[in-house]
A and B are shown apart, each in its own frame.
Chain A
Amino acid sequence: EAAVTQSPRNKVAVTGGKVTLSCNQTNNHNNMYWYRQDTGHGLRLIHYSYGAGSTEKGDIPDGYKASRPSQENFSLILELATPSQTSVYFCASGEGTISNERLFFGHGTKLSVL
């Protein structure tokens, strides 16, 4: 079964600090995604990637950067964290073919920015 691992599972950060959320997949999938989930909003796409070296803006990219240094790893970076970025973040990988948009998700990272 496909595996997506996120770290850390929980994170408390201070306002203005830098936060890096990491994601590793062993599926050899080309595409990777970062979503956040908030009450009343469901999952919203922040950034995604088509492969190593590629990053694309999703629907809510402001305040976030992404990095895809390899096929397996995809990081989400908050350079200056704000309390509004308190959320649960999910990483996912997918093959990205036209009809097979099955995504494999990690367990999520709960981030609290104080």
Chain B
Amino acid sequence: GDSVTQTEGQVTVSESKSLIINCTYSTTSIAYPNLFWYVRYPGEGLQLLLKVITAGQKGSSRGFEATYNKETTSFHLQKASVQESDSAVYYCALGDPGANTGKLTFGHGTILRVHP
């Protein structure tokens, strides 16, 4: 089956510093997966941060970027300068376009705490 592994637990970063949250994936599908980052801010539901459906391309949103690397099966999330408002839980996710079910497989989530 499909699986997603991301940076475990909590990451603490000072405001204005750079961030990277690692994500690697594994899939048994013959099709290249679609890759996503979702975010859950305190008191809210999960929402899409960015997605990339083509290997080699980069997605970006709200200053965050992630590049789909099919050679290393990775989709790391990066930001050059974080803000306190970025404190949230971040989830890497994989979708199988070959299955056409719309299901997503999620990583465990990474808690980001940005302190001033």
Interface residues of A (CB under 8 A from B): 4, 31, 33, 35, 37, 40-45, 48, 56, 58-59, 90, 92, 94-99, 101-108
- What is the distance, in angstroms, from B98's C-beta to the closest C-beta of chain A? 8
Interface size class of B (residues with CB under 8 A): 20 to 34
Bits for B99-116, please: 1 = Cβ < 8 Å to A, else 0: 011111111110000000
- What is the distance, in angstroms, from B106's C-beta to the closest C-beta of chain A? 4
A45 CA / B99 CA spacing, docked (Å) = 15
Interface residues of B (CB under 8 A from A): 1, 4, 34, 36, 38, 43-48, 51, 53, 91, 95, 97, 100-109
Q: Could you tell me if A103 and B48 are in contact, using CB atoms closer than 8 angstroms?
A: yes
A102 CA / B34 CA spacing, docked (Å) = 10
Q: Could you tell me if A108 and B45 are in contact, using CB atoms closer than 8 angstroms?
A: yes
Known A42-B91, A99-B53, A99-B97: A105·B106 in contact at CB below 8 Å: no
Task: Determine the chain B residues whose CB is within 8 A of the CB of A45 once the complex forms.
Answer: 103-105
Q: Could you tell me if A101 and B45 are in contact, using CB atoms closer than 8 angstroms?
A: no
Task: Determine the chain B residues whose CB is within 8 A of the CB of A37 once the complex forms.
Answer: 109
- What is the distance, in angstroms, from A35's C-beta to the closest C-beta of chain B? 8
Q: Could you tell me if A41 and B51 are in contact, using CB atoms closer than 8 angstroms?
A: no
- What is the distance, in angstroms, from A83's C-beta to the closest C-beta of chain B? 22
Task: Determine the chain B residues whose CB is within 8 A of the CB of A108 once the complex forms.
Answer: 45
Task: Determine the chain B residues whose CB is within 8 A of the CB of A41 once the complex forms.
Answer: 108
